[in-house]
Amino acid sequence: MKIPLFKIYWEDEDVKAVTNVIKRGSYWATGPEIKKFEEMVAEYVGRKYAVAFNSGTSALHAILLAHEIQEGDEVIVPSFTFISTANAPLFVGAKPVFAEIEDETYGLDSEDVKEKITKKTKVIMPIHYGGCPCKNIKELKEIAEDNKILLIEDAAESFGAKIGNEMVGSFGDAAMFSFCQNKVITTGEGGIIVTDSKQIYEKLRLICSHGRLETANYFTSSGQVDYIMLGYNFRMPTMVAALGISQIKKIDKMVEMRRKNAAYYTLLLKNVDGIEPPIPPDNFYHVYQMYTVQVEKSLRDKLREYLLKRGISTKIYFDPVHLTKFYREKFGFKEGDLPITEEISKKVLTLPMYPTLKKEEIKYIVNNISQFMEERK
C-alpha cells in the first residue's frame, strides 16, 4: 500500500464552479464570487465581515498592518507552529516573542503568555493546532482584555472547529483561516480574515488591493480612482473563490469523514503501548485537519522510517520555529530556549489523514505501528 499524508477532496461540482468562471471569460479578477465566498465564510464562523486573500500568510500580514502593529511592538506567538505565524510580526517590523505551549491541544500556555507580556506587547497570536481548538483560548482572551492588547487567532488549520457552539475564529479581535491544499477546505492557495470591526474590514480591503479606494469595479468602470494608503496585491483570484464556494458547501460532510477516520484511528491506537492518540478536551469539536500522535522520543524517528519503508507517509508538525536557521541566526535562539516546546516537538508524529482515507488503510497503518512497537519491547 502507498498512503500519502493527505489527499485533496474534490467533486465534479468543484470543477464546474471553476470552469464556469473561466468560460464566463470575464471577472477572473475581482469577480462577484469573491464577495460571495467572503459572505459565506463570515456567516459560517458567525462574524460580521470577511476579506479573502491569496494566502493565509498574506492575510496575517494584512491583519497586523490593519491594526497598525509596527516597529517597537511585540507579538506573542508559539514556536510550535508553521513559520508564517512568527514571520507575520517581522513583516511589519515588530518582534515575535515566543511563548510555550501545553501538551493537550498544543495551544499557547496562558501562564507563560502572562510572563511574556511587556509594555511593548500589542498582540497575542495563538494557533488552533491541526483542527483542534486551542485549550486556553478563553483564558487568552481574558488576558488580552485585561492587558488591553489584541487577540488574533491563527486558525489556519481549524476551519469548522468549535468549543461547544463557539466557533474557532469567533474568540479573537480577528482570525485567519488558510485554504492551502492540505486544509479542511481548500482552494489550492488562499486565506481569509474574519472580524466584527467595520473599520478593520475597510482597512483590510485597502491593504489587500493597493490602498485603492474603489467606488466601482476598477477593471470595468471608467471612473477615476484614488490610492489613499500603502497597499499590496494580496487578492484572491475569482476562480479560487468559486472553488471556495463549492468547497464550503461540502464542509460538514468532509469534516464528518475526517472525524470518523479519527475515531477509528483512536479506537485502534488505544491498544498500542507507547502511542498517545490525540484526545480533545470535553466539548471540543476537533475537525482533524491533522491526526497527530505522541511517541516516545527515542523511537519517533525510527518509527517514521519504518512506516515510510512500508509506504506510509508521516510528518513532523512542527519542528520549533525558533530553531530554524533563520531564527537562530537573526535572533540568536538556541536549543533549550523553549524546553517544553522542544520536548513536545521531539515526540509528535502526524499520521495520514484525509476524508477518503479507508478503514483498511487505517488498519494497515496501525498494524504497522503496533508491529514496530512490539519489536522494540
Ligand X SMILES: Cc1ncc(COP(=O)(O)O)c(C=O)c1O
**Where on the chain is the footprint of ligand X (CB under 6 A)?**
55-57, 81-82, 84-85, 127, 154, 156-157, 178, 180, 191
- In angstroms, what is the minimal distance from the CB of 63 to ligand X? 12
How is residue 169 annotated by DSSP? T
- In angstroms, what is the minimal distance from the CB of 265 to ligand X? 21
- In angstroms, what is the minimal distance from the CB of 359 to ligand X? 28
183 neighbors 159 (Cβ within 8 angstroms): yes
- In angstroms, what is the minimal distance from the CB of 254 to ligand X? 18
CB-wise, 156 or 207, nearer to ligand X? 156
CB-wise, 56 or 237, nearer to ligand X? 56
108 neighbors 156 (Cβ within 8 angstroms): no
The string of DSSP codes covering 39-79 is HHHHHHHT-SEEEEES-HHHHHHHHHHHTT--TT-EEEEES
CB-wise, 191 or 303, nearer to ligand X? 191
- In angstroms, what is the minimal distance from the CB of 82 to ligand X? 4
CB-wise, 6 or 372, nearer to ligand X? 6
53 neighbors 194 (Cβ within 8 angstroms): no
C-alpha cell at 232: 499590496
- Residue 339 belongs to what H/E stretch? helix 339-347
CB-wise, 345 or 368, nearer to ligand X? 345
CB-wise, 96 or 366, nearer to ligand X? 96
83 DSSP β-pair partners: none
Determine the 3-state secondary structure of 90 from DSSP.
Answer: helix
Burial class (CB in 10 A: 0-12, 13-18, 19+), 339: exposed
- Cα 209 to chain centroid, rounded: 23
CB-wise, 195 or 368, nearer to ligand X? 195
Looking up cell 479519527 gives 262
What dihedral do alpha carbons 279, 282, 288, 289 form, nearest 10°?
-110
- In angstroms, what is the minimal distance from the CB of 134 to ligand X? 11
CB-wise, 177 or 306, nearer to ligand X? 177
C-alpha cell at 48: 460580521
Tell me the residue number closest to ligand X, measured at CB: 56
- In angstroms, what is the minimal distance from the CB of 296 to ligand X? 26
CB-wise, 91 or 364, nearer to ligand X? 91
- State the amino acid at position 42 in one-letter form: A
**Residue 237: which residues within 8 A CB-CB, separation 6 or more?**
28, 29, 54
- In angstroms, what is the minimal distance from the CB of 228 to ligand X? 27
98 DSSP β-pair partners: 77
76 DSSP β-pair partners: 97, 124
- In angstroms, what is the minimal distance from the CB of 7 to ligand X? 17
